[in-house]
Amino acid sequence: MDVSGVEVEVLSWQQAEEAELDEMWSFVQNKDHQRWIWFAIDHKNRKILAFVFGRRKDKVFRKLRALLEPFGITRFYTEDWGAYERNLDTEKHTIGKENTQTIERKNLNLRTHIKRLCRKTLCYSKCEKMHDIFIGGVINILAFGWCVNGV
């Protein structure tokens, strides 16, 4: 599958009936230049299914949703953010904190492991490309045990 110039390989055995979705704030150079990480985890086994970088806009969420289509997800759990309500079917969408505790914990773990995600830090990225490469590489190693391009 090709999504905006990024080749994504989804293994056929990976299926997820339910997914938790969330976004996490970060920045590039200064806090006025916000960068968001949108990601989804399998509700049952807590594994990261997919993630994308961008702004906190519907367009970026639709990229994540496109990455999730091969998984055959029948139920989405999210917080109360408009992008989810506008882009997910109400029959498949549940809003609330009781079903998003796992992904919120995953956010905390990522902030602990990746200092560029901390709100008060001396470590920051100077350009979006390096921000996405570094954080994406760490997420790949932590979640999948491998890095993009076999590095």
Residue-level pLDDT at 59? 94
Residue 135 domain-assigned? yes
Residue-level pLDDT at 74? 92
Residue 94 domain-assigned? yes
DSSP character at residue 45: T
User: Domain range spanning residue 95?
Assistant: 15-139
Q: Which segments of the chain does DSSP mark as H helices, in order?
A: 58-68, 82-87, 101-113, 128-144
Residue 2 domain-assigned? no
Token pair in block for residue 92: 């498949």
Residue 4 domain-assigned? no
The amino acid sitting at 150 is G
Residue 26 domain-assigned? yes
CB contact at 8 A, 41 and 50? no
The amino acid sitting at 13 is W
Residue-level pLDDT at 2? 45
CB contact at 8 A, 67 and 13? no
Residue-level pLDDT at 139? 80
* CATH code at position 79: 3.30.420.10
Domain count across the chain: 1
What stretches in the chain show pLDDT beneath 70?
1-14, 115-124, 146-151
Residue 10 domain-assigned? no
Residue-level pLDDT at 149? 53
Residue 132 domain-assigned? yes
The C-alpha angle 144, 111, 53, rounded to 5 degrees, equals 65
Residue 86 domain-assigned? yes
Instruction: Give the span between the Cα atoms of 67 and 19, in whole angstroms.
Output: 13
Residue-level pLDDT at 64? 93
Residue-level pLDDT at 13? 47
Residue-level pLDDT at 58? 92
Instruction: Give the span between the Cα atoms of 30 and 63, in whole angstroms.
Output: 25
